[in-house]
A and B are shown apart, each in its own frame.
Chain A
Amino acid sequence: MTKCLLGCHPCFRLNMFSKGTKRKFSDGGEEISEETLVGARMASSYSLQRQSLLDMSLIKLQLCHMLVEPNLCRSVLIANTVRQIQEEMTHDGSWQVVTEAFCSAGQSPSERLVATEVLCRSREQDAEPKLFSVISYEGCREEEVVADETLCSVSVSDAVSNVCLAGSIGQCWEKSDVETDDEALEDSRLGSGEDEEIDTEDEPSREGPKTIGQVFGTFEIKNSSPGPDSALEELFSDVDTSYYDLDTMLTGMQSAPKMGPYDLLDSLAPSHGSSSIVSAPNCRSDLNELDHIMEIIVGS
């Protein structure tokens, strides 16, 4: 267990600020003073501790979902702490570093998001045009869209646990000049096969890190007490799937992505014939044609 000194946060903050101030050296200023080095070291250890606090908080939020209804007060306090850390990190610019790290892993999180979204989409949705706009982000080719069905299925059953994490990705979107229509992320739905999502938010939010709210959304219950929300509304409530992505983000952090672009073929179910993933059916038909040609050649 790492011993965190973030309780003594003020002293680190002081150093972080002081490292930016101009220093006057009597000797001409080329040398890096020891104090600056120490300051830099403290700053990086502060960032490390802040990061570990963020990770700890996210894990705490994830572990919320147990047999008994989790404590709302505790969840709110942890979520507020996460928000605070995120705000500070975006302020410092270190949030960019985090997102760049993912991109350098070979896959932009947005692609993974789209992919999981596609797989988890049910029939009815009208978000396809928006989907295209997401895909066209940064000119990614369709083949590079990776769908991790296991991720999707994990998300389906553990949606709540993944929920809270997306808040951070949500902010990432805003900062990375993504032209993503937020609604594309929000409108995808799981479909009615998902029992656990029945009780989540009935109103799709239009803004940023909404997913932390999904944690609280599961606290809604339908009971006989009269309220403005009708039971039917909640049954068909929207689920924001952008919360899958932090799960993918975390798994991406730990290891290189396990699936390459063409693994999509193996995992893609035939029913998910979304036109956005063009490569898959194309490849499939190619293979079929190849078989056909082989048959002719072999003369069987």
Chain B
Amino acid sequence: MGEDGESPKINHSFLRDYVTEADVISTVEFNQTGDLLATGDKGGRVVIFQRETEPKGESEELCESGEYNVYSTFQSHEPDFDYLKSLEIEEKINKIRWLPQQNAAHFLLSTNDKTIKLWKVSERDKRPEGYNLKDEEGRIKDISTVTSLRVPVLKPTDLMVEVRPRRIFANGHTYHVNSISVNSDGETYLSADDLRINMWHLDITDRSFNIVDIKPANMEDLTEVITAAEFHPHHCHMFVYSSSKGTLRLCDMRESALCDKHSKIFEEPEDPGNRSFFSEIISSVSDVKFSHSGRYLLTRDYLTVKVWDLNMEKGPVETYQVHEYLRSKLCSLYENDCIFDKFECVWNSTDSVIMTGAYNSFFRMFDRETGRGVTLEAWRESSKPRAVLRTRRVYTGGRRRRGDVGVDSLDFSKKILHMAWHPAENIIAIAATNNLYIFQDRVNPENQ
């Protein structure tokens, strides 16, 4: 991950093209302050980056340089095997969510298809020295050599980051876990798989409450699955989940123990003019996010991102076309399975800009005030460190500008599925296969 230095003598380009499957990044998440950025990959590893802070000379302010460097790496999940079904359980990290910080240590939840783990990330930069009974290497001293007593003192050492698993929440899910979300109460979290949503207490690993169950009595009647779920950012009793049929269901846990009946259902009526055999597939919601304000919902389906007002159920208040030029290619995209790609979407810190990924290493940002969208590219060849990103365009007709990319030359293997936006500043992290790109807005670093 990150940029490799290139030797001028040896041509490493062929090595660069070889991507180890295990290195493909599968999730990206900032913590609540934005100082830490965690990524999970297909090999079950988690890499945490920390933002560098450089104190500026005489000025009292700490100037954040904005550089993120590796802070810690650990193996979160191992490949597993389900002996009953003779199937492998992938170690791929599906989601990482940070807990709000309560003390010096940081906690994060990471999950693969079946098991959620709580990790404690702590620093150690001191160690005790001067034991009476042990020598420097830890061996027990011969008592006869001890002539006087001393008090051990803490001496500074090189910074060590320790990561330890604190809880393992296993056996809660029959199906594949697609989402985890920490509750605003700081004590519970939810985990959602294809058919069920469970609520856990962070301290209790042997029990979880099932709060949504959409498994039909006859599996043959199954036509809809859960695709994503999230707790409301402020109301600890409310959460939303999305389905493969394009519906969003808002649930209130105060109403009943089992929230199979939704409080509100958000659904956009189908456009009869655009009806095809692929209508249902492209309406499937791949990601849902509450706005920071808690007033809006952001959803991503195959061709669009939509903003919904929690007070209006009959349809989205805003719809943005991500790559409408793919509508005529749906059959080919169905054939090569690209139509099932699950793109994520994110809000910026003030909920004024939304962002999502696309193909060909492109990602799109939409300004909600102007309604305009811009296409940017996360690709090593075209961006040097600290260079300004130029906007890209997919040619769909009209006057062709230099630099436009034709629809047929799009690389569908380069998909931007996972991304994160800093909680306070205009810094974004984009995962492009096995590379992590971090972009910062130098013009408007802070949000007004």
Q: Measuring CB to CB, which residues of chain A are less than 8 angstroms from any residue of chain B? A: 1, 3-10, 13, 49-50, 53, 56, 60, 67-69, 71-74, 76-77, 79-81, 84-85, 195-196, 199, 201, 203, 205, 209-214, 216-225
Contact = CB atoms under 8 A, between A and B. Distances in A.
Q: Considering residues B85, B113, B329, which has the most beta carbons from chain A within 10 angstroms of its beta carbon? A: B85
Contact of A76 (B171, B224, B332, B334): B224
A64 to B, nearest CB: 12
Nearest to B90: A68
B123 interface: no
Contacts of A76: 222-225, 244
A216 B195 CA distance: 11
Interface stretch (B59-67, B272-280, B316-324, B396-404): B272-280
B41 interface: no
Contacts, number: 131
Given A213-B219, A216-B219, A77 B340 contact: yes
Interface string B325-342: 001111110110100100
Interface of B: 82, 84-90, 113, 171-172, 174-176, 194-195, 217-225, 227, 244, 273-278, 280-281, 284, 327-332, 334-335, 337, 340
A7 B335 contact: no
Contacts of A195: 86
27 contacts: A3-B331, A4-B331, A4-B332, A6-B278, A6-B331, A7-B278, A7-B327, A8-B276, A9-B275, A50-B277, A68-B89, A69-B88, A72-B194, A73-B194, A73-B227, A73-B284, A74-B337, A76-B244, A80-B223, A81-B280, A201-B218, A201-B220, A203-B218, A209-B220, A210-B218, A213-B218, A222-B84
B335 to A, nearest CB: 6
Contacts of B219: 201, 213-214, 216-217, 219-220
A14 B85 CA distance: 47
Nearest to B223: A80
A225 B198 CA distance: 12
Contacts of A225: 171-172, 174
A181 to B, nearest CB: 18
A209 B223 CA distance: 13
A10 B340 contact: no
Contacts of A10: 273-276
A223 B171 contact: yes
A84 B279 CA distance: 11
A69 B90 CA distance: 9
A3 B336 CA distance: 12
Contacts of B330: 6-7
Contacts of B90: 68
